[in-house]
Amino acid sequence: MADVKTQLNYSVDNGREIDYYFFEPAQDVKLNPPGTDVQDVVIRDGWSQAESFSLDAEGFAIKSFDGGFRQFDNEEAITSLLYPQVIEFIKKQTGARRVEIFDKTIRQRLPDDLSQQTEEHRPAVLLVHSDYTPRSGPARVRDILPEDADELLTGRVVFYNFWKSLYDVVEELPLACCDARSSIDEDMLLMNLKYSDRTGEIYVLRHSPDHKWWYFPKMSADHALLLKTYDSEIDGRARFMGHSAFEDPTTPVGAQPRQSIEIRTMAFF
């Protein structure tokens, strides 16, 4: 495989709050959507350096994973069989003493029509982003583990996304990872997620020519990517890692549509 030249959807740093609505906003709302700064980038093939990537340095790592599980249409099997496997995998890779799974999403190419999406079946995200912020990370711990949150938040807390193909080799819409060492705090732009009953927040990224992008072409179901999307430590290790699906110009005609699972976890040390 080889490096690819493609485009990624960054966001404009215009001094205004960026927002994304999951409902129809009032007509007088002045929108400031993400992903409007389309930039040409080179995304490097990471396979030759696969063993060197580190969650605490680059913010991502790719590891071998038993791809034998196939019951992705069976919720009970996912919970009882796959989840324990993922938890043990993350403990082994990170040294965490406790890992909690709190969300999962099956991602594939879907119509732009939002009515075709569900909470657990969504399209690949073609936006440079990181899933949590210094405020929304701890808030999520309190939402998921209210009784234990005060004690858990006194120690190190890290959110890892577990990402893999369901069955086949990823031939289209691969996932790109931005080396966390190549971005600075000022590259992270707060985006408000507007729901009818609440407002969440994540980071989107402004463009920088310093960003270094990596991907793993033709990932099989026997590999898993771990992405760090929040780390409570502020000692210089990676805290947030930008990532995005992208249109790969080398995708062959008739390629197998991408089907992947993303499992979000919080780890405690």
The one-digit pLDDT tens for each residue of the chain (269 residues) are 589 999 999 999 999 989 988 888 888 788 899 999 999 999 999 999 999 999 999 999 999 999 999 999 999 999 999 999 999 999 999 999 999 999 999 977 654 444 444 444 567 889 999 999 999 999 999 999 999 999 999 999 999 999 999 998 999 999 999 999 999 999 999 999 988 888 889 999 999 999 999 999 999 999 999 999 999 999 999 999 999 999 999 999 999 888 999 999 999 99
110-132 b/e (C-beta count within 10 Å ≥ 16 → b): eeeeeeeeeeeebbbbebbbbbb
Q: Domain limits of the chain? A: 4-268
Gap between the Cα atoms of 65 and 89, Å rounded:
8
Q: What is the pLDDT of residue 54?
A: 98
Predicted TM-score of the model (pTM):
0.92
Secondary structure (3-state) at 262? strand
